[in-house]
Amino acid sequence: MSLSSFPERSRKAVALRALQMLASDELPEIGLHLLSSASPSSAALAGATAADGPRDLSDLFDSALAELGLELPTKLEAAEFLKRIVAREALSGTLSPRAAAEEIRLIYDVIESELPRERSLGAAFGVENIIGLYYSYDDVAEPADVLRIDRDILDALAEIAAHPDPA
């Protein structure tokens, strides 16, 4: 199912949930976004708190999706969406280049086993340059070198961000 089926404000959280990268205590936020639809479970989820426990929150979330006829996106669809969101956040200055590269590396780690094997780390997901640059931070101490890596990461992220989201 496409992420475009979800309210726009909830798409990032839904994609993170599909990758099991969203804590259960953040699910009520998605419930708030789903409230515009008539679903008893989304209303219950929106009113839930962390005290309700991760299992109860997960069950309410799953029930709300079922009542609304929604399904989580596949891991690969969620990862592609998040890759573009992270790239755009870095380009807007919301995330530093280093933080964006780390987030993309974490997303890649979740889906790596679902991708075909390639010669270089991240190639099948189109992020080999970003992952390589991320690890190169470990090898530099000079501020000018860090700024060069930041610029190179931003250039690579600009290419990713230029791809439109699927309809």
Query: What are the residue ranges spanned by the domains of the chain?
Result: 3-68, 75-161
Ranking 30-44, 48-62, 126-140 by mean pLDDT, the lowest is 30-44
Query: Model confidence over 85-108: pLDDT tens digits?
Result: 999 999 999 999 999 999 999 999
CA dihedral sign, ordered 42, 3, 15, 13: negative
Burial classification of residue 31, based on how many CB atoms lie within 10 Å of its CB (0-12 exposed, 13-18 middle, 19 or more buried): buried
Token pair recorded at residue 79: 């990862």
Distance CA 111, CA 106 (A): 9
Q: Give the position of tokens 């280049």.
A: 97
Model pLDDT for residues 45-57, shown as the tens digit of each residue? 878 877 788 888 8
Question: What pLDDT sits at residue 38?
Answer: 65
- Tell me the C-alpha distance between 154 and 162, whole Å: 12
